[in-house]
Amino acid sequence: MSQNVAYIIGKVSTWSGVRAIVLQYFVEKDIYDPNFSITLDVYYDGVIPDSGERSGLFSDAQFFETSHLNDKDRFILKEMPIRISYKECGQVDEVISALSGDKWLSMERGTYLFYRIATGTVEWSRDEWIKEARAKLDNLPDSFWDFWIDSCRHRVDHFLGDMRASAIKDDALYFHLSLGDFLRAVVKLLFAVNHVFEPGPRDYTASLALLEIIPEGFEASWKSLLREDAELPPERKRELAELLTRSLLELNP
C-alpha cells in the first residue's frame, strides 16, 4: 500500500500548482473491508492536468474514471482501489476565512471538509499552506460553533416536522426519507455540540461512541429509530424522535 501512495505522490507532486497531498486515515482499514480504499486529497492552485492527461499519467492503472466536475479520480492500481480528490486552495481559503461568521454555511453543507484537512496525514507539501490551514482550524472562534450548533438544531427540527407530516399522511416513502434526514441532522448536531468536525457517514457509528456529550438515554432511542420492527410503526418512531429532539436541545457544549 505504501508503495502505491509513494508512486502516486511521485507523479502528482510534479504538477506545478500542487501545494499539498493528504492521505486520509481510513486507508488503515482491513483491505478486505468493502469500504477500503487508498484515498488522497490533492490541494492545488491554478490548473491541473485534465482527466485524459491524468489517465495517461497512471498508464498502469485499471478502470480509470473521473467525475463530471473533473475533481475526483478513481482507479485500481496493483489490485488496490485508489481515490483522489482535487481541491482548489483558493476555495478552501475562502471558506476558512468565513468561519468567524455564518457565511460559510452557504458554502459547505457541514464540517466534513475541515475534518479531512485536520485529521489526514500530510504525505507531501510544497510550502506552508496546509500547515497554516490546520492552524486556523485549530483556533476557531466560539462564534463558529455557536452558528453551526444553531444551524444543526434548525435542521433537526425541520426534519422532525417532515416526520410528523409523513406519519400523519401515512406516506411510507416520505417517512423513511425524512427519518434518514433526521438521523443525519442529529449526528451533525452531536458532533457540533462536542466541538468535533464530522467524519464521513461510514464512520458515524464508531465516532458517535467516542463523544463525551450525549443526551441521557440516547443509545436506546437511537437503536429504536434504526430498527425495522412491526412494533415500531412510523407514529411510534415519530414519538421517539420528538423525545430525542427535546433532550438534544437541552445539551450545552
pLDDT in tens, 95-117: 999 999 999 999 999 999 999 99
* Neighbouring residues of 79: CB distance < 8 A, sequence distance ≥ 6: none
pLDDT tens digits along 31-88: 677 778 899 999 999 999 988 888 888 888 899 998 877 799 999 998 899 999 999 9
* pTM beyond cutoff 0.85: yes
For residue 45, the SS3 value is coil
**Amino acid identity for residue 40 in this structure:** L
**pLDDT tier at 1 (50, 70, 90 boundaries)?**
low
Least Cα distance to 216 among 188, 247, 186 occurs for: 247
* Neighbouring residues of 131: CB distance < 8 A, sequence distance ≥ 6: 122, 125
Cell of 59: 498508464
pLDDT tens digits along 58-72: 888 899 998 877 799
Q: In this predicted structure, what is the pLDDT of residue 14?
A: 94
Region 214-243: what's the mean pLDDT? Answer: 94
Between CA 144 and CA 149 the distance in angstroms is: 9
Least Cα distance to 58 among 67, 49, 45 occurs for: 49
For residue 73, the SS3 value is strand
Domains of the chain in start order, with CATH, are 2-138 (3.30.460.10), 142-249 (1.20.120.330)
For residue 41, the SS3 value is strand
pLDDT tens digits along 162-206: 999 999 999 999 999 999 999 999 999 999 999 999 999 989 999
pLDDT tens digits along 108-150: 999 999 999 999 999 999 999 999 999 999 999 999 999 999 9
**Amino acid identity for residue 134 in this structure:** R
- Given a cut of 60, is residue 28 above it in pLDDT? no
